[in-house]
Structure 1
Amino acid sequence: MQRYRISTELSEMDIDVIHGFVSESYWAKGIPKSVLKKALMNSLCFGVFTDDNAQIGFGRLITDRATYAYLADVFILDEYRGLGLSKALMTNIVSHPDLQGLRRMVLATRDAHGLYAKFGFETVPNPETLMQVWQPEVYSVSE
């Protein structure tokens, strides 16, 4: 029986696996590996690993660890879905000592509302108060 573990050790994160998934995602398609690596270095990262240390999942928090956190880049590789690993990852994230007492934790998702709702996330009741600078082509190479 395969066993899994979750780690927050940045040195254990497999940038090739993470980049392979995130750079093909709807939220960060085309992100350069160097940009993603910089993002990981400045985030609280959570990796999901098999018992032979292969990375099969990931999530990261952009946070000051006192008042606010933004959850990003959450995934479980396709062949490992349906095993409860996303729930285990989210349980680990929301219970992490550095994330206790935050005033707000947010995320954006197109298709995983059901998962996140199980961990207390809900739609923003006043989205008109949120603003953004949106540059969807920032990772595109200009000729």
Structure 2
Amino acid sequence: MEWTKDQFVLSDQQEKLDMDTVCRLLASTYWAADRPRDTIVKSIENSITFGIYTEERQIGFARVATDKAVFSWLMDVVIDEPYRGNGLGKWLMDCILEHPDIRETNMSLKTEDAHLFYERYGFKRNETMRRASTFHAGDSL
């Protein structure tokens, strides 16, 4: 799917993603600063992804892991610094929430600093349980 707003295009087509830009954007965040490129690539292959582009240059990214029926998890929402404050994050969220593979699912996310932003979209703060991976790259099965 594609959406258009002014000079921006938002697309869920993975083949349009600029992996160098995605890696650079994620490296600028507190949650994925040290995430290896191969992990980013694998996570994208197993997610519904969203890229924002202007003049064919990628300036935003988000991804959703979902079973497309009940559950979805929103992750890695980031807009390139020079484009922040122009409503692109809001537009990105609007498009994600209307996506046919996502709109009827219960969506979760984790954030340390954007609670008010996500509360506008109906997200509620709550305690969640989490199990961290005990397997590390280089370990054998």
TM range (shorter): 0.7 to 0.9
- Paired AA for residue 57 in structure 2: A
Asked whether 1:31 is paired with 2:29, we answer: no
Superposition TM-score, scaled by structure 1 size: 0.85
What are the Cα deviations for residues 14-59 of structure 1, in whole angstroms up to 9, with x where unaligned? Answer: 1111111213421122111111001001000011111x11000010
Superposition TM-score, scaled by structure 2 size: 0.86
Structure 1 residue 111: Cα displacement: 1.1
Structure 1 residue 118: Cα displacement: 1.2
Take 1:56 and 1:37, find their aligned partners in 2: how far apart are those partners?
18
Take 1:131 and 1:91, find their aligned partners in 2: how far apart are those partners?
27
Aligned to 1:95: 98
3-state SS, counterpart of residue 99 of structure 1 = coil
Moved more, 115-124 or 40-49: 115-124
3-state SS, counterpart of residue 112 of structure 2 = coil
Take 1:80 and 1:114, find their aligned partners in 2: how far apart are those partners?
20
Runs of 4+ in 1 over 6 A off after TM superposition: none
What are the Cα deviations for residues 78-97 of structure 1, in whole angstroms up to 9, with x where unaligned? Answer: 10011110000000000111
* Alignment gaps of 5+ in structure 2: 1-5
Counterpart selection for 1:43 from 40, 44, 47:
47
Aligned to 1:116: 118
Asked whether 1:6 is paired with 2:10, we answer: yes
Take 1:58 and 1:106, find their aligned partners in 2: how far apart are those partners?
17
3-state SS, counterpart of residue 91 of structure 2 = helix
- Paired AA for residue 112 in structure 1: A
Aligned to 2:3: none
- Paired AA for residue 35 in structure 2: I
Take 1:101 and 1:95, find their aligned partners in 2: how far apart are those partners?
9
* Alignment gaps of 5+ in structure 1: none
CA RMSD of aligned residues (A): 1.7
Does the aligned pair in 1 maintain the 2:25–2:79 contact within 8 Å? no
Does the aligned pair in 1 maintain the 2:12–2:50 contact within 8 Å? yes
